[in-house]
Copies of this chain bind each other. A is one copy, B any other.
């Protein structure tokens, strides 16, 4: 990529992470700002500022990872979660005109998947899917080396017919998300251990051998496995990467997930596919947004 540099911006509900990234995925000048959530104008002003303080003559493009399904044809965020950004503005054109540079936009979990594919846990893979387990459950996929630019909202696959309703703007029932996030884990833990217990504490308890904690994580892992099983039968990936804060539950959820995936996958794929934790941590979204910026150059 000829020594070119781009700016990657990962827009989250509480923080804007931005940095200058080179073609090898190295991040320089990483910065964090609180996300302005007062209005869409405030939010755009905050993003402008985050970009401007990194901008110089060597920057060839800008990429944004947004917490929303994206319509790539119109360049719009279709349903952002927790932040005042909606389809009323053509986000990509607005940013491209503002900075007179090529701009790429992607969903934040798609961006994270792309980063893990190039520089993280999936760098040896050809086809991979990723699930991020945090407050919500995001998804992304890379197919034969190319980022899947559809929605990939894997947290909103139905895995329990007529099951638990989603929260917020999603009206669905029995989606993967409310069964596998840190929020879901905290809820289950609080029923057993009292209101002060969160997902982090639940994982600690499991680590100490507490049987009910292990059982809760086992149930979460089995639901996760049902979702991964569906993805295996759709994408036949070499590798499934689990990221986000609740991935810290590690093998307490991944081992039961592996067991269910072995059962659900066609043609032995459930036994072949590897299920591993993400490697890039909180930088994945920023680096992935930068990769989307590089793609916008070609």
Chain A residues in contact with chain B, CB under 8 A? 68-69, 71, 73, 78-79, 126-127, 139, 143, 150-154, 156-161, 163, 169-175, 223, 226-227, 229-230, 233-236, 263-269
Complex alpha-carbon distance, A127 and B235, angstroms: 17
Pairs A-B, 7 closest by C-beta atoms: A79-B267, A157-B230, A156-B233, A78-B267, A158-B226, A153-B233, A172-B264
Question: Is B159's CB under 8 angstroms from A158's CB?
Answer: yes
Question: Is A226's CB under 8 angstroms from B151's CB?
Answer: no
Q: Kindly list chain B residues whose C-beta atoms are within 8 Å of the C-beta of A156.
A: 230, 233, 264, 266
29 A-B Cβ contacts within 8 A? A68-B267, A69-B267, A69-B269, A73-B126, A78-B266, A79-B266, A79-B267, A79-B268, A139-B234, A151-B234, A151-B235, A151-B266, A153-B266, A154-B234, A156-B230, A157-B157, A158-B226, A158-B230, A159-B161, A161-B163, A161-B226, A170-B266, A172-B229, A172-B265, A173-B263, A173-B264, A175-B233, A230-B230, A234-B234
Number of copies of chain A assembled together: 2
Complex alpha-carbon distance, A227 and B158, angstroms: 7
Question: Is B161's CB under 8 angstroms from A69's CB?
Answer: no
Question: Is B150's CB under 8 angstroms from A143's CB?
Answer: yes
Complex alpha-carbon distance, A139 and B230, angstroms: 13
Q: Kindly list chain B residues whose C-beta atoms are within 8 Å of the C-beta of A263.
A: 171-173
Smallest beta-carbon distance A224→chain B, Å: 11
Complex alpha-carbon distance, A69 and B158, angstroms: 23
Beyond contacts A151-B233, A234-B234: 20 other A-B pairs, Cβ-Cβ < 8 A, are A69-B266, A69-B269, A78-B266, A78-B267, A78-B268, A127-B150, A150-B234, A150-B236, A151-B234, A151-B236, A152-B234, A153-B233, A156-B233, A157-B233, A158-B264, A159-B159, A170-B266, A172-B265, A173-B263, A175-B233
Closest chain B residue, CB of each to CB of A87: B267
Choice from B79, B157, B230, B236 contacting A69 with Cβ under 8 Å: B236
Closest chain B residue, CB of each to CB of A68: B267
Evaluate whether A223 and B161 lie within 8 angstroms (CB atoms) in the complex, with A171-B263, A172-B263 already known: yes
Complex alpha-carbon distance, A157 and B175, angstroms: 12
Complex alpha-carbon distance, A235 and B72, angstroms: 12
Smallest beta-carbon distance A273→chain B, Å: 12
Complex alpha-carbon distance, A153 and B143, angstroms: 15
Complex alpha-carbon distance, A265 and B158, angstroms: 10
Evaluate whether A226 and B150 lie within 8 angstroms (CB atoms) in the complex, with A158-B264, A160-B161, A267-B78 already known: no
Q: Which of A139, A229, A266 has the most CB of B within 10 A?
A: A266
Q: Which of A150, A152, A160, A233 has the most CB of B within 10 A?
A: A233
Complex alpha-carbon distance, A297 and B24, angstroms: 36
Evaluate whether A234 and B160 lie within 8 angstroms (CB atoms) in the complex, with A151-B266, A267-B69, A267-B79 already known: no
